[in-house]
Structure 1
Amino acid sequence: MTFEEINERLKKWADDRNIGEYSDKQIMKLFEEIGELSEAINKNMSEQEIDAVGDIQVVLIILCYQRGLDPIECLNNAYNVIKDRTGKTINGTFVKSEDLEG
């Protein structure tokens, strides 16, 4: 199944459950799922990690739908912002050049 097909199915799924309209509850759901991912990583639970990453993607796609955003456009935009970014990795985290100049 393509990303576009999954996106359309998630729109229908959200509409069928009356969550197609924006609510701050979707943001709270995102934080809940991020917490579950953190727990899965910290406890080295790979199956739960896979589930949590998928759940985060579902929540973000539905949030995009609620806000009138195209998730593919959002991802392309983010990539275009970072693709030529320079910097260095410090303690496992990439730090962009402009943040190193402070």
Structure 2
Amino acid sequence: MDQLIKKVEQWSIDKGLDKGNSFTQFTKTIEEQGEIAAALCRNDIDELRDGIGDVIVTLVILAQQNNMTLYECLEQAYREIKDRTGVMSKDGSFIKQADL
């Protein structure tokens, strides 16, 4: 995974995206999330895999543009959720204890 992320980061540098506008990059992430939604609606596993990968690419670049790494961001998020308690709703969403 580390090598693949480094390849994405280098691709971003080669294309000048690492110096791009973070808001523009964020909107690209949202666009790619829409493709995930479409793939889920169509039950298209190949497009779902591609969409998830595309979202990760956009997030790697967004982190890079802000002098962060995807690892740092994921590590911070995990620290926040690791001890979280809550319940699963009827529709399969996790509701944290603080929101109950």
**TM-score for both structures, normalised by structure 2:** 0.93
Give 2:86's aligned residue.
Answer: 87
Give 1:78's aligned residue.
Answer: 77
Cα separation, 1, equivalents of 2:54 and 2:62: 12
Q: CA RMSD in A?
A: 0.9
Cα separation, 2, equivalents of 1:7 and 1:67: 16
3-state DSSP class of the match of 1:20?
Answer: helix
How far the C-alpha of 1:99 sits from its partner, in A, is: 0.4
3-state DSSP class of the match of 2:17?
Answer: coil
Structure 1: gaps (5+ residues):
none
Higher helix proportion (structure 1 or 2): 2
3-state DSSP class of the match of 1:85?
Answer: coil
Match status 1:64 vs 2:72? no
Cα separation, 2, equivalents of 1:76 and 1:5: 18
Give 1:96's aligned residue.
Answer: 96
Structure 2: gaps (5+ residues):
none
Aligned residues: 98
Post-superposition Cα deviations, 1:34-93, rounded to whole Å, max 9, x if no partner, equal 000000001101100000000000000011001111211111111111111111011210
Cα separation, 2, equivalents of 1:32 and 1:95: 26
How far the C-alpha of 1:22 sits from its partner, in A, is: 3.7
Indicate the percent of aligned positions where both proteins have the same amino acid: 35
